[in-house]
Structure 1
């Protein structure tokens, strides 16, 4: 991601100062690496940290296939929360100084081409007679191309697309509240504080419409990432640190509430509340270290290439991974550890193909077409 030029004419002297944590305009390659690490965490969760369809793929419950690793793998689902923190950071950075048209064109071009291909690919593979997984109906598959399947109650092609629906709602809120009127430090702070407060009210009101718009369980992570971008711009900004702290404090609450299963003795994996809080804290700390420039030495070029694999890998790894696991482990008799490694590698190779053949070709064209002025 390329850091955009920032208009600071209306901001305070502290906020108007150039970023103190990283060279202006420099690419934060450590952030690319962290994105891929979060995706690999989610893959560990899907392949060995839960039950469900993956049990069929392995031929046994993953807690028997990975008797030691299945418990740490169960924490891999928190890679999603780390993704949301990174997204808050990146979206605030990329939206600063951009017009609404340019911002929305950039987001649509970033999300949709690889997503469309992943939906078609997974639908086609699941429809093959040799694959033992049920494909969604043709009608539902077509609805999935809109990314509106979740609010419409349609069967999902990709298990991970619920996170994209959360991302899209975040983009919309940020575009309306920050990008449309023009990004300034004060406006971003008001947006963050207002969203956290409104999300808390929505949680208390228990109104489905408010939950749909304000996303109480995800808002703290996006807000925390936005706060960390403000820290990246000025590490001495107490309000930015305050927004980040509130994002973490509220976010860990939701993470523990949703993922701690101590009350269920039959749960597949027993996450502890301490473990959940620790993983969330490490995610915030990692993004904070990048924001403060503490990882400037982690500037290897290969991290950019690795980061480019994150999104296509995230899209295809779960369902197509089931097919690879079943083929290698159950049909060919490959040991579980080797199957796990080969499945991850095969999904990374597929992600590389999608990145080169789809994203690098279609994303710039789509962005250009959507950003072009219309009479």
Structure 2
């Protein structure tokens, strides 16, 4: 997912609260971390590879099982789902960075403006393809008007409604992280508060994870996914204030938990790829994501200044939103016209990238500006006192 992260800039603002002393290091300069845009692109392409070449339970897409049609690509794509974990790591880092020094209202506005405009367009386009494109999967349930409208809330999963696109399940995870992080946004972010938040969340998730049948507690603490968000927040503290044994310990401890949680999630992915997945490969790729993000936090990639990465980063979210169902429809169409797998994959990727650029430029950006103006309107400010009662004659 992430798919699904805010603009990658450090605000360099004064820390709110002031009660807890911060480590003696000035805030980093207001430079865009281009390397995070590149990592988001890598994560997105990994997820695309998983759905287009790794998933083996929809034979109607390719007309033949991908493991038979393209065995080498299938073995690689089978592990592309780990891009989601990289998205979550980046999300924890960037949310902490973008919320530092912001008011709760600014935090709320930034999340809504970042997530919803492209998502609304993605829901409409994907639903249109599912309902009206002749080469969509025959086993795909059509979207009713009520389903589409419910999807607009991004709360379709807890409301028991089918997502327009299966990849949207990660957005519900992100939303719950944002709601938890809102606690810090309200009281003000400081070094000590973020560290305490990481520790409390880790303990709560481990405890509630021991009770897998308690859906309520598990939906709040998210024991399978929280290690990535927690590590991301600690990594931002390293980036902003410098490495300490405590912060490095949080990152390392989070990875230890994450590699264990892979055992819980691997079953569903093995079902989708229709074969066994290697734990050493999964743990190595997960560890590599943690290591790369640690190097980012330590400044090892500050030399990366390729401006084209900002464009790639901007397209990542629309690509994530559009690639699965629309991509499968394109693949099915290409196979019906006897296209071979590798050229078809390249053509589909080009189409999705072009569509993502169109959505970003002509829908996401103008809608985001409009939505931000609406949310920043003084008319939406809550009054300090109750307004006078309107008495009717």
**1:343 is aligned to 2:348:** yes
Aligned length: 367
Equivalent positions of 1:173-252 (< 5 A) are: 173-176=180-183, 178-206=184-212, 207-252=214-259
Q: Tell me how far 1:5 sits from its aligned partner.
A: 2.5
Match of 2:105 in 1: 101
Cα 1:179–1:52 change in 2 (3 A) is same
Equivalent in 52, 60, 71 of residue 67 of structure 1: 71
> Unaligned regions of 5+ residues in structure 2, if any?
1-7, 384-393
Match of 2:387 in 1: none
Equivalent positions of 1:279-318 (< 5 A) are: 279-318=285-324
TM-score normalized with structure 2 length: 0.89
Preserved CA contact (<8 Å) 1:256 1:277: no
Q: Tell me how far 1:107 sits from its aligned partner.
A: 0.4
Q: Tell me how far 1:234 sits from its aligned partner.
A: 2.3
Preserved CA contact (<8 Å) 2:104 2:182: yes
Match of 2:386 in 1: none
Task: Measure the CA separation in 2 of the matches of 1:150 and 1:129.
Answer: 24
Match of 2:29 in 1: 24
Task: Measure the CA separation in 2 of the matches of 1:212 and 1:109.
Answer: 24
Task: Measure the CA separation in 1 of the matches of 2:273 and 2:365.
Answer: 42
Preserved CA contact (<8 Å) 1:71 1:270: no
Task: Measure the CA separation in 2 of the matches of 1:132 and 1:24.
Answer: 48
Q: Tell me how far 1:363 sits from its aligned partner.
A: 1.1
Equivalent in 146, 164, 168 of residue 171 of structure 2: 164
Q: Tell me how far 1:367 sits from its aligned partner.
A: 2.1
TM-score normalized with structure 1 length: 0.93
Match of 2:21 in 1: 12
**1:116 is aligned to 2:120:** yes
Match of 2:390 in 1: none
Task: Measure the CA separation in 2 of the matches of 1:70 and 1:291.
Answer: 33
Task: Measure the CA separation in 2 of the matches of 1:184 and 1:73.
Answer: 40
Cα 1:195–1:68 change in 2 (3 A) is same
